[in-house]
Amino acid sequence: MNSTSYSDSFDFDLDGIVDLITRTGAATAGLQFPEGFKRRAFSMACELEGRTSASVVISGNPCFGACDVDMALAGEVDILFHFGHSELLDGMDNVIFMETPAKVDVIPVLGAAADELESGTTVGLLTTVQHVHKLDEVKSFLESRGLSCVVGEGDSRIRHPGQVLGCNFSAGDVECDNYLYIGSGKFHPLGVAVAFGRRVLVADPMMNTVEWLDPERILRIRSGIVAKCLDAQTFGIVVSTKVGQNRMELARRMAGLAGKYGKEHVIIMLDNITPEAMLQFKVDAFVNTACPRIAIDDASRFNAPVLTPVEFEIVLGERDWDELVFDEIREGAK
Ligand code: SF4
Domains and CATH numbers, the chain: 3-98 (3.40.50.11840), 107-214 (3.40.50.11850), 217-323 (3.40.50.11860)
Give pLDDT, residue 2.
Answer: 44
Interval between CA 167 and ligand 1 midpoint (Å)? 5
CB 308 within 8 A of CB 288: yes
CA of 199 to the centre of ligand 1 (A): 23
Distance CA 205, CA 194 (A): 23
Q: Return the closest-CA partner of residue 315 out of 196, 253, 233.
A: 233
Q: Is the CB of 290 under 6 A from ligand 1?
A: no
Select from 61, 88, 245, 288 the residue to mutate for testing ligand 1; criterion: most ligand atoms less than 8 Å from CB.
245
In 3D space, the residue among 251, 252, 261, 256 whose CA is nearest the CA of residue 229 turns out to be 261
Q: Given this model, what pLDDT does residue 334 score?
A: 67
**Atom 8 in ligand 1: residue holding the nearest Cα:** 65
Please tell me the distance between residue 67's alpha carbon and the centre of ligand 1 in angstroms.
6
Please tell me if the CB atom of residue 84 comes closer than 6 angstroms to any atom of ligand 1: no
d(C-alpha 179, C-alpha 120), whole Å: 14
pTM comes to: 0.93
Take atom 4 of ligand 1 and give the residue whose Cα is closest: 167
CB atoms under 10 Å from CB of 238, counted, come to: 25
Query: How far is residue 188's CA from residue 166's CA, in Å, rounded to a whole number?
Result: 5
Q: How far apart are CA 202 and CA 210, in angstroms?
A: 6
Residue by residue, pLDDT tens for the chain (334 residues) are 444 456 679 999 999 999 999 999 999 999 999 999 999 999 999 999 999 999 999 999 999 999 999 999 999 999 999 999 999 988 889 999 999 999 999 999 999 999 999 999 999 999 999 999 999 999 999 999 999 999 999 999 999 999 999 999 999 999 999 999 999 999 999 999 999 999 999 999 999 999 999 999 999 999 999 999 999 999 999 999 998 999 999 999 999 999 999 999 999 999 999 999 999 999 999 999 999 999 888 888 999 999 999 999 999 999 999 999 999 999 877 6
Q: What residues does 200 pair with on adjacent strands? A: 179
Axis-axis angle for helices 216-228, 187-196 (nearest 10):
80
